[in-house]
Amino acid sequence: MTGFDYFVNYLQEEGYRFKDEGSFISFKYQGTTYLSPKNDSSFLQVLMMWNVENYDKMKILEACNTVNSNKFVVKCIMMDNDSVWVSYESEPSVHTTTEDFDTMMQILEHSSQEFMQELNK
């Protein structure tokens, strides 16, 4: 199984509804939409996209740097002048528990909120 397959199983087992968007799925967690790109590898990426078109580029980069410097498994990446991805990457396996996936989503949610707090300082 791929990392993506393990994550889809988690979503289904926990009752999360997700939408197949072609090259990725989208789903809601705590009222916020998250995405997970489909792939054939053992790695999994789950991300949240922020629209940052009305912010100063230097402020965006500083906020990303702050989040990145405090986290090991989360990446905050300015994709273009309009969006930032806050991404969690892992390599799930048969040993990955529901609690592990829950923790991943909590870390990603917290990191996304931290990014916006830093951006709005």
Give the residue-averaged pLDDT of 3-15: 96
- pLDDT higher than threshold 90 for residue 71: no
Q: What pTM, to 2 d.p., does this model score? A: 0.90
Supply 91's token pair: 């390599």
| 11: Cα separation from own chain's centroid | 14
Name the residue range of residue 12's domain: 3-119
Cα 112 from Cα 88, distance rounded (Å): 10
| CB 4 within 8 Å of CB 38 | yes
| CB 36 within 8 Å of CB 45 | yes
Contacts of 82 (CB under 8 A, 6+ apart): 51, 52, 53
CATH number at residue 87: 3.30.1460.70
| CB 87 within 8 Å of CB 37 | no
Q: Provide, rounded to the nearest whole percent, the portion of the chain with pLDDT above 90.
A: 93
- What is the structure's pLDDT at 72? 87
| 41: Cα separation from own chain's centroid | 17
